[in-house]
Amino acid sequence: MLQTTLGSLELDNPVLSASGTFGSGWEGREFSDLGRVGALVSKTVTLLPRPGNPPPRIWETASGMLNSIGLENKGVDYFVANSLPKMKQLAASGRSSTARGPRVIINIGGESIDDFVTLAARFCDEGVDALEVNLSCPNVQEGKLLFSTDPRMTEQAMRAVKKVANVPVFAKLSPNVTDIVAIGKGAEQGGADGITAINTLIGMAVDWRKQKPILGRVIGGLSGPAIKPVALRMVYELARVVRVPILGVGGVQSADDVLEFVCAGASAVQVGTAMFTEPALMVRLLDEVRDKLAAAKTTIRELRGALHRSAPAPVGGSAR
Ligand code: SIN
């Protein structure tokens, strides 16, 4: 009932962690049985350690949160030595005769295509299950966001990564574009096995008394329930056109949210910001999604893309 697939990657269920909100997953192990989730997606890993942006880096907003972390992480060598074994341990804890256990998906970030390629090759050697290429972080100077604002750069990055990868590769796209479908097509043409939509929306917060921006880097990425309608719309638009599976992400906090993304065309759904207030959320959602599917006598596979079989094209829209 809950099984789903992302290209050649088979998952026990469609509930995944969203990169950046859960570290490597290890931090969350005492709150719930993470061996039950569909996949664990790591915080972005870069080649070299990054100190991240100046504080403040997080700011709560109405129905959401701004972050300006700046891809802080200890670099690939540290991650492979310390965090990856823990992710694999969590994955093994969920494996049984009837369950695959969570898949290990590593999110990689680079300043150049060469960086992405080096990281992809390294993680494939380490036996991860899939890669998510972060083409869309809004909080760094070196051009990560640029990759996913240009269809050709997206295509080039994905093509280069695919040349060295022997596992499925997903392109994580930015909503900060005029036409996400053009970028999604670029990713698909570059050989992406799936598309993660969406990363955060660029925003800012202001302290009028101090007459200053609140975040240390002035702007940050907005996540949480406030962005769910945007994410749903983008998943819907992408699913009308691309053939590769879509990993929906943006403001998910209930089982209904998960099923709405599936209806819009997502094969799996990532849970992020809401886990800051409820670290056990993914596992609760899993149970609730299963109950709701049973009550509706349907499955994830049947429901996926249902909207495209029933909804009219948007007013003024085209099939592109
Ligand atoms: C960050 O580390 O700044 C957030 C990561 C992202 O938005 O891709």
Question: Do 38 and 11 form a contact (C-beta atoms < 8 A)?
Answer: yes
What atom of ligand 1 comes closest to residue 68's alpha carbon?
A: 3
At residue 144 the predicted structure's pLDDT band, cuts being 50, 70 and 90, is low
Measured in angstroms, how far is the CA atom of residue 144 from the centroid of ligand 1? Answer: 10
| pLDDT for position 208 | 98
Report whether residue 20 contacts ligand 1, using a CB cutoff of 6 Å.
Answer: yes
Buried b (16+ CB within 10 A) or exposed e, 153-182: bbbbbbbbbbebbebbbbbbbbbbbeebbe
Report whether residue 139 contacts ligand 1, using a CB cutoff of 6 Å.
Answer: yes
At residue 37 the predicted structure's pLDDT band, cuts being 50, 70 and 90, is very high
Measured in angstroms, how far is the CA atom of residue 114 from the centroid of ligand 1? Answer: 20
Question: Do 16 and 281 form a contact (C-beta atoms < 8 A)?
Answer: no
Report whether residue 200 contacts ligand 1, using a CB cutoff of 6 Å.
Answer: yes
The catalytic site residues sit at: 137
DSSP 80: I
Tokens, residue 196: 């993660």
Answer whether residue 80 shows pLDDT above 60.
yes
Residue among 285, 166, 305 at smallest CA distance from 235: 305
Answer whether residue 319 shows pLDDT above 60.
no
Pocket test for ligand 1, best of 58, 69, 106, 116 (most atoms within 8 A of CB): 69
The rounded radius of gyration (Å) of the Cα atoms in the chain is: 18
What atom of ligand 1 comes closest to residue 136's alpha carbon?
A: 8
Rounded Cα distance, 219 and 20, in Å? 17
What atom of ligand 1 comes closest to residue 71's alpha carbon?
A: 2
**pLDDT tens digits for 238-254?**
999 999 999 999 999 99
Please name the residues in contact with 58: beta carbons below 8 A apart, sequence gap of 6 or more. Answer: 65, 66, 67, 68, 69
Answer whether residue 302 shows pLDDT above 90.
yes
**pLDDT tens digits for 204-221?**
999 999 999 999 999 999
| pLDDT for position 143 | 54
Report whether residue 221 contacts ligand 1, using a CB cutoff of 6 Å.
Answer: yes
Question: Do 274 and 281 form a contact (C-beta atoms < 8 A)?
Answer: yes
Q: List 108's β-bridge partners, or say none.
A: 45, 133
Burial class of residue 259 in the structure, from the number of CB atoms within 10 Å of its CB (0-12 exposed, 13-18 middle, 19+ buried): buried
- 147 in helix, strand or coil? helix
Q: What is the mean pLDDT of residues 98-102?
A: 96
Answer whether residue 310 shows pLDDT above 90.
no
Q: List 195's β-bridge partners, or say none.
A: 171, 246
Averaged pLDDT of the chain: 95
Question: Do 251 and 225 form a contact (C-beta atoms < 8 A)?
Answer: yes
Name the H helices within the chain: 76-78, 84-93, 113-125, 144-147, 151-164, 180-189, 228-241, 255-264, 281-295, 300-303, 306-310
Query: CB 131: neighbour CB atoms within 10 A?
Result: 25
Please name the residues in contact with 54: beta carbons below 8 A apart, sequence gap of 6 or more. Answer: 216, 217
At residue 142 the predicted structure's pLDDT band, cuts being 50, 70 and 90, is low
Q: What is the mean pLDDT of residues 80-99?
A: 97
**pLDDT tens digits for 286-295?**
999 999 999 9
Question: Do 74 and 49 form a contact (C-beta atoms < 8 A)?
Answer: yes
Report whether residue 13 contacts ligand 1, using a CB cutoff of 6 Å.
Answer: no
Q: What is the mean pLDDT of residues 149-169?
A: 97
| pLDDT for position 139 | 82
At residue 23 the predicted structure's pLDDT band, cuts being 50, 70 and 90, is confident
Answer whether residue 132 shows pLDDT above 90.
yes
Question: Do 190 and 29 form a contact (C-beta atoms < 8 A)?
Answer: no
Of 22-36, 113-127, 232-246, 293-307, the least confident: 22-36
- Please name the CATH architecture into which domain 4-52+71-202+223-309 falls: Alpha-Beta Barrel (3.20)
At residue 137 the predicted structure's pLDDT band, cuts being 50, 70 and 90, is confident
Question: Do 305 and 263 form a contact (C-beta atoms < 8 A)?
Answer: yes
Pocket test for ligand 1, best of 57, 107, 139 (most atoms within 8 A of CB): 139
